[in-house]
Amino acid sequence: MRQLFLVLWIFAAGVFASCSKDDPNTELSGDTDIALTKVDSVSGVYLTYNNTYISSTDMKVVSNVKGDVTYEVKMDLNTLTPELKAKAIELFPKLRDYHGLGTDLKITPDLKLEFRFKLKITSEGYLDYFTDGKPWVMARYGDGVGTKYTIKNKNGETLTRAITEKTGKDEWPLGFYLIKTSLIEQEAPSDHPVFERISYRVNHRFGLVYVEFLLKDGSKVKFNIIAFFV
């Protein structure tokens, strides 16, 4: 009888340990009180379309609740070329509807874009909620090349993000700096109405510093992001 209780205890302990262990695909550890995510901090965002610089705007931290960081981006679409303005008016509603963003993504009658979105950000890395509202790790700074983060969407499709490069040396330009980065790449869901592929770079100090979208029509939109205050 004593042996039976011992076996049951070991089994229960194993189950508890496996349930309490962080899911590498959906959970982040680390400090949530970091300089990068202080409320009212503003980062510069610089937009390039097909390798031509187009415009810039700001990305502001409006709240930070235990690492769940809400950003606000506002942009005047009237500053874009007529071609890009028309593309933005066409594509942003598709993004809003596909990701269920509701009023968090809108274009005002005078063509001002207003966008609020949430990311989990800690000293360990980044996580987003853009896939059916589920948490999905974007990157951990300490993970090496070949690391993959997967999630299954509501259509049953398994999506994968993979670290494909770690520069290991200061070579990525960020303002007046050269920094080390990790490159993460992912294919968009097969039914995505706008994107074909997404790539981005992160740095342990400056966070997300670059995002590149390959659109369904073959064009590329790139964002360089600089957190001046860090």
Report yes or no on 159 lying in a domain: yes
Asked whether residue 92 carries a pLDDT value surpassing 60, the answer given is yes
Helix (H), strand (E), coil (C) string for 149-200? EEEECCCCCEEEEEEEEECCCCCEEECCEEECCEEEEEECCCCCCCEEEEEE
Report yes or no on 19 lying in a domain: no
Three-class secondary structure of residue 54 per DSSP: strand
Report yes or no on 80 lying in a domain: yes
CATH number at residue 80: 2.40.360
Asked whether residue 20 carries a pLDDT value surpassing 80, the answer given is no
> Of 99, 75, 68, nearest to 89 (Cα)?
75
pLDDT grade for 140, boundaries at 50, 70 and 90: very high
- CA 172 vs CA 31, 145, 167, 169, 200: distances in Å: 25, 17, 8, 9, 12
Report yes or no on 88 lying in a domain: yes
pLDDT grade for 5, boundaries at 50, 70 and 90: very low
Report yes or no on 12 lying in a domain: no
> Of 221, 228, 138, nearest to 183 (Cα)?
138
Three-class secondary structure of residue 12 per DSSP: helix
Q: b/e string for 42-76 if b means 16 or more Cβ within 10 A?
A: ebebebebeeeeebebebebeebeebbbbbbbebe
Q: Which amino acid is at 22?
A: D
Chain segment 24-77, per-residue pLDDT in tens: 999 999 999 999 999 999 999 999 999 999 999 999 999 999 999 999 999 999
Query: What is the extent of the structural domain holding 68?
Result: 25-226
Cβ 224 vs Cβ 45: under 8 Å: yes
Report yes or no on 16 lying in a domain: no
Cβ 69 vs Cβ 121: under 8 Å: yes
What is the structure's pLDDT at 22?
Answer: 67
Chain segment 150-192, per-residue pLDDT in tens: 999 999 999 999 999 999 999 999 988 999 999 999 999 999 9
**Half-sphere exposure of residue 97: CA atoms within 13 angstroms, side-chain side:** 9
Asked whether residue 216 carries a pLDDT value surpassing 70, the answer given is yes
Report yes or no on 137 lying in a domain: yes
Chain segment 95-138, per-residue pLDDT in tens: 999 999 999 999 999 999 999 999 999 999 999 999 999 999 99
Number of domains in the chain: 1
Q: Which letter does DSSP use for residue 87 in this model? A: H
Report yes or no on 17 lying in a domain: no
